[in-house]
Structure 1
Amino acid sequence: MSLSRCHRVRFLPEGAWVQVLPSETLKDAARKIGIEMMSACGGQGTCKKCGVRVLSGKCRMGMDLLSPALKARGHILACQAYPEDDLTVEVPVESRLTGAGALLRHEEIAVPGYESGPDRYPLSPLARKVHVTVDPPTLSENMCDLDRLLKSLRTHSDSPATPTISLPVLRKLPQLLRANDGKVAITIVHLGDHDEIVQVDPSPQPHPCVGLAIDIGTTTVTVYLVNLKTGDTLQRLSTYNEQFVYGEDVITRIVHASRSEENLDDLRQAALRTVNGLIDQSLTAEGYAPEDLSCAVVAGNTTMTHLFLGVNPKHIRLAPYIPAAVDFPPVKAGETGLHINPQGYIFPLPSVGSYVGGDIVAGALSSGIADSSEMRMLVDLGTNGEVVVGNEEFLVASACSIGPAFEGGGITCGMRSVPGAIHRVTIEDKGNRIHLETVGDEKPIGLCGSGLVEALASLVRSGALDRSGNFSRDAARLRITDEDNDPEFVLLASEETQLCRDLALATSDVKNLMRAKAALFSGMQHLVTSIGLTMADIKRIYVAGAFGSHMDIRSAVEIGMLADVEASRHIVVGNSSVKGARLCLLSQEALREATSIAAKMTYLELSVDPTYMDEFMAANFLPHTNLSLFPSVSAQ
């Protein structure tokens, strides 16, 4: 492509210039200089989150989907704009992928009786380090180096009888034995049917054996660095999944990955960069090197596991919705690019079906549902909205596909939980008195999930919003505007925010939130009734996920998102996935139990059951068409 046909784009407020090919969009151009934009739809133009203002120059538009009001202010969609001239472009704060690469709040939530310790699963980690002294060879005792090493291991009570050894480690063995008078530290990984020596170091070693518990979520990625000798967690770090730039939900990412091998690798590399960034920070904080890590347990939904391993997830979204695999063997770390010892192993936790993955298996393990005599439920408040119901006799699971609405997707003022996000909302006096709190006490940018839930509940409670999701002009006349024939409730005027417009919740936003909450509740209700039970039979409802950790449970009940049961039965547990992965890392028995849970869990596909749609439609009110399901709410 001739450079004479290229154009230069200047991005404000950075003031940076970049060269752009005719085939590249403004969004592509911004990424070249490190400006990441919101991209819930993966660049299809449908989420309308990447709006920019062109201050000078001309663009050719692929699709023109913005509202007349935004176009009147000079806004266009960066993902649909192809420069036809040298440009000056302003990227507003609401279009930026705020917090990309930043560490997130990670709060360890301790729940009595939830995550078990050594009393439930004995400490028998997947990797261990054994210090031995190997006798030197003599003319009369001419046993080979490996056999002498194995003989020394057999005298060690905690070591396996006959482990195998990887070739790169064997290549180092002769020199190490002779350079250290036979004193070596052997790292052994347990692989189920056999053990393998994956590292030989001079002895003594200053560091104990460590491993990783990893949760690869659609939105966030969490890494725990764990001392395998003591079971202590040394580091807990979380950040946003870099795959976000290819789409906010798994379906959008599957579509992108299915288009080419290059696209599939782009998604794999994005996940890998995210995980490796957290690993590197954890190791630096504790003074370790990547070679000190010999094993990692990875939990993720079925799509995330496929993408992390570079397996095409195309058929997950196509009927009859079949993944490439649900059981994954241990994988050599060197085959994945993970920043650990390349001879070490990665243990992907098994999935159940296309939309119930290893993260839910890990959550079921750490919750103890499979060991309980009473009926329990696990609700994971991610984009897939997975629900598990059961006890020690059976487990049934479904994915409710609630979508990214409560993570900001498809919501005009929606955003992720980063500084400037409104996370607490109180609306009183028919909408005329409003109290808001933001993450980091910064000037508002938008509402994150917990703020959206509280806003919806407060609007209904104050009388500003009716049960069908329409604003009452009589109740809050001064705060309701009719922007583009989509009435909206203005929470803050533009001058009170970081935005160039009012911060408002539109009727279309309310409807999107109602559909999302209806998908979750109807899935929960359908799962319970399909096994002949009612919500009254469920003794504990574990609410998992980062969003659930910060959400006000009562507000979620009031909008019909969670069941109206005694408050004590809703138990917020945080990231159940990484907790389950940590259990598997520290206990061979727990890993076997996770495999057993996946095998006995029955997956119900909601989309093929015609009665589910009836339940979904009934849940599309605030809180529900059947108020008898929400007695405490209707009594307010």
Structure 2
Amino acid sequence: MSKKITFLPMKEVVLAPPEDATLGELAARLGLPLDQSCGGVGRCGKCRVIVRKARSMPNEIERKMLTPEELMAGYRLACQCPLEDGLVVLLPCAEKGEMQILDGEAELFIIKGRDPLVRKRATRLTMPEVDDDITSLGEIVLEDLGLKNTISLNLLKEMGSLFLNHELATMVFTETDLIAIERGDTSHSLYGVAIDIGTTSLVVWLVDLNTGIVIDRCLEVNPQISFGADVLSRISYLQKHPKGLETLRNAILVSLNEMIANIASCNNLPEEEIYAAVIVGNTCMEHIALGIDPLTIGRSPFIPVSRFFPMLDASSLGLAVNPEGRVLVMPCISGYVGGDIAAGVMASGMFKDGKITLLIDIGTNGEIVLGNKEFLIACSAAAGPAFEGGQISCGMCAKEGAIEKVRFEDGNIELEVIGKCDPLGICGSGLIDLIAEMLRHGLIDESGKLNESGSKDLGYRIFRDESGILGFRFCNLSPIEGTGLAITQRDVRQVQLAKAAIATGIEVLLEKTCISMEDIDRVIVAGAFGNYLNSENAMTIGILPKVPLEKIHYIGNSAIRGAYCALMSQDALQEVNAIVDRTKVVELSTLKDFTNIFLKNLVFKID
């Protein structure tokens, strides 16, 4: 009977024929890059792979060739590991240190000294002897796990029979609580999810808590976008509708639960084996997800109901993982600088050293943090969703069919499309390229106005629609005149508003700290499309400050990275709490000269 085996990171699923007895034999037949220089007899130890969902235990040869740490992390020798249906195998070609790239967005991490939010330990529950100094069975379990809290009534009800039958059982526990008991040794099967609730998009990472491997990831549009493109519009919706909070919260949970179900199913993983979740988002998104009314965030002095949240049972939140699983919601810095930014600061490491770092998270809210180990100061700039494809006439999120790169060359417009298919729209990185190229070629002037006579080669692409609004057709989908993708004057204005908000935030933080741009040691760019951003084009339109290119570093979605770190490390969670406590926040809207600075930054500074 054939067995289904999944190989990562290529996510290739194969059916192993009956004649292949081991992973090594199957890999050799498929021509996979696996070193079996000893001929597959277990002498060289070079065919190390990480195996998930294995029912077999390492044999004597594997226990001899692999260290205890490697065995604990799920390493096996492919030449010795028997084939079983449902195995998931990470090949060593993906291993490149502590962080490995699976694709443009999902990073695969191996954290040293990991201490995940939830852990498992298998033990045989044996009744104590008469002369043992033990007063209850529950105390035996708590002492073995190093816990001090009491055990829930449901677990106490099943514990007696496990001891009487001397059963092998697996304890599922946090740093403080025993949360579940599973029959048999299930310690190899422990998973969590890192969740980023963005204003525009939702991201879920599926993580193996035993190894730290990011198994898979899922990206979807935030369904709340139907109720408003930004935080303030959603707060307004809540004010106008008596059941608005319930509606917005349900929209998020339904979508997240579908994502979790899909990502688990794609990896042949029961949702009940997911015991931990860490959620990050801006302050408003976190409040809504928890069912907390965020109205106080939308009114001066813009204070949230809480910055810190208790650890939750998954069942109480309604998250579709194991009902006894634990859910941690990242603490927030302020009403408009949320848990996503605290997580990003932690993930970037900027709070640990003496280098002065400017962190710019380019999203709907455009948060900015300046500092180092000595100080941290932050602000939130209402950039809007333009750089995530929102409120742009042909905008879309970065998925298949989105134009991600644009270049003008000798009167032609060259486009790169995600998935190498026909373009459906343009995402943030492509939009920035397009505006920068239009500025260079005189198609947009400093005020942001489309200029019909600005370019001899490309000026013919500027047109007026039925309402008299100017537009620039940058992509023809057919020879028929008037078809294709175009950017309008209104779209350019949305980009101006977004870039002015970010530039103003940067200028204010520098002024508040008496730091010049020359004093900045590095600029870290966070955001879903950061890795695809052209630095020169971003500086041309004014999103990024004009600094030497070598000072600019991209870390992608820093919020989900921070959520991952908190999922895998108790130390990381403590670091986030410290960051929240020590970060000073500047509220831009209360500054007397804010309007003047903002209006100045609306202008494109064409070199």
Q: TM-score, normalised by structure 1?
A: 0.74
Task: Judge conservation of contact 2:110–2:212 (CA < 8 Å) in 1.
Answer: no
Q: Which residue matches 2:470?
A: 487
Q: Which residue matches 1:27?
A: none
1:568 and 2:550 aligned: yes
1:448 and 2:436 aligned: no
Work out which of the residue numbers 445, 448, 456 in structure 2 matches 1:466: 445
Q: Which residue matches 1:518?
A: 500
Gap change, CA 1:420 and 1:205, over 3 Å in 2: closer
Describe the superposition over 1:42-78 as per-residue Cα deviations: whole angstroms up to 9, x where unpaired: xxxxxxxxxxxxxxxxxxxxxxxxxxxxxxxxxxxxx
Comparing 363-372 with 275-284, which one deviates more in the overlay? 275-284
What is the identity, as a one-letter code, of the residue corresponding to 1:127? V
**Hey, what's the Cα distance between the residues in 2 that align with 1:494 and 1:143?**
78
Task: Judge conservation of contact 1:189–1:344 (CA < 8 Å) in 2.
Answer: no
What is the identity, as a one-letter code, of the residue corresponding to 1:471? L
1:504 and 2:495 aligned: no
Task: Judge conservation of contact 2:147–2:177 (CA < 8 Å) in 1.
Answer: no
Structure 2 unpaired stretches of 5+: 1-101
Task: Judge conservation of contact 2:155–2:180 (CA < 8 Å) in 1.
Answer: yes
Cα distance, 1:116 vs structure 2: 9.4
1:108 and 2:94 aligned: no
Q: Secondary structure at the match of 2:544?
A: coil
Comparing 207-216 with 568-577, which one deviates more in the overlay? 207-216
Gap change, CA 1:181 and 1:568, over 3 Å in 2: same
Work out which of the residue numbers 540, 545, 549 in structure 1 matches 2:531: 549
Q: Secondary structure at the match of 2:365?
A: coil
Cα distance, 1:531 vs structure 2: 0.7
Work out which of the residue numbers 86, 101, 115 in structure 2 matches 1:124: 115
Task: Judge conservation of contact 1:166–1:196 (CA < 8 Å) in 2.
Answer: no
Q: How big is the alpha-carbon RMSD for the aligned residues of Structure 1 and Structure 2?
A: 2.5
Q: Which residue matches 1:340?
A: 321
Aligned residues, how many? 502
What is the identity, as a one-letter code, of the residue corresponding to 2:139? L
What is the identity, as a one-letter code, of the residue corresponding to 2:239? S
Work out which of the residue numbers 284, 304, 311 in structure 2 matches 1:323: 304
1:35-434 correspondence to structure 2 within 5 Å: 107-108=105-106, 117-118=111-112, 122-136=113-127, 147-154=136-143, 156=144, 159-178=145-164, 180-190=165-175, 195-205=176-186, 207-428=188-409, 432-434=411-413
1:572-591 correspondence to structure 2 within 5 Å: 572-591=554-573
Cα distance, 1:445 vs structure 2: 3.0
What is the identity, as a one-letter code, of the residue corresponding to 2:200? T
Cα distance, 1:198 vs structure 2: 0.4
Describe the superposition over 1:559-580 as per-residue Cα deviations: whole angstroms up to 9, x where unpaired: 1110110111111101111111
Q: Secondary structure at the match of 2:215?
A: strand
Task: Judge conservation of contact 1:425–1:434 (CA < 8 Å) in 2.
Answer: yes
Cα distance, 1:590 vs structure 2: 1.3
Comparing 607-616 with 597-606, which one deviates more in the overlay? 607-616
Structure 1 unpaired stretches of 5+: 1-103, 624-632
Q: TM-score, normalised by structure 2?
A: 0.78
Gap change, CA 1:269 and 1:105, over 3 Å in 2: farther
What is the identity, as a one-letter code, of the residue corresponding to 2:201? T
Task: Judge conservation of contact 1:135–1:148 (CA < 8 Å) in 2.
Answer: no
**Hey, what's the Cα distance between the residues in 2 that align with 1:285 and 1:481?**
46
Task: Judge conservation of contact 1:189–1:197 (CA < 8 Å) in 2.
Answer: yes
Gap change, CA 1:364 and 1:142, over 3 Å in 2: closer
What is the identity, as a one-letter code, of the residue corresponding to 1:315? T
**Hey, what's the Cα distance between the residues in 2 that align with 1:365 and 1:116?**
17
Q: Which residue matches 2:436?
A: 457
What is the identity, as a one-letter code, of the residue corresponding to 2:337? V
Cα distance, 1:297 vs structure 2: 1.4
Q: Secondary structure at the match of 1:329?
A: coil
What is the identity, as a one-letter code, of the residue corresponding to 1:186? M
**Hey, what's the Cα distance between the residues in 2 that align with 1:185 and 1:494?**
59
**Hey, what's the Cα distance between the residues in 1 that align with 2:271 and 2:460?**
59
Cα distance, 1:169 vs structure 2: 2.3
Q: Which residue matches 1:535?
A: 517
Gap change, CA 1:451 and 1:371, over 3 Å in 2: same
Q: Secondary structure at the match of 1:490?
A: strand
Identity of aligned residues (%): 34
What is the identity, as a one-letter code, of the residue corresponding to 1:520? I
Work out which of the residue numbers 516, 540, 547 in structure 2 matches 1:558: 540
Q: Which residue matches 1:439?
A: 418
Gap change, CA 1:404 and 1:124, over 3 Å in 2: same
Task: Judge conservation of contact 1:198–1:294 (CA < 8 Å) in 2.
Answer: no
Cα distance, 1:245 vs structure 2: 2.1
Task: Judge conservation of contact 2:314–2:326 (CA < 8 Å) in 1.
Answer: yes
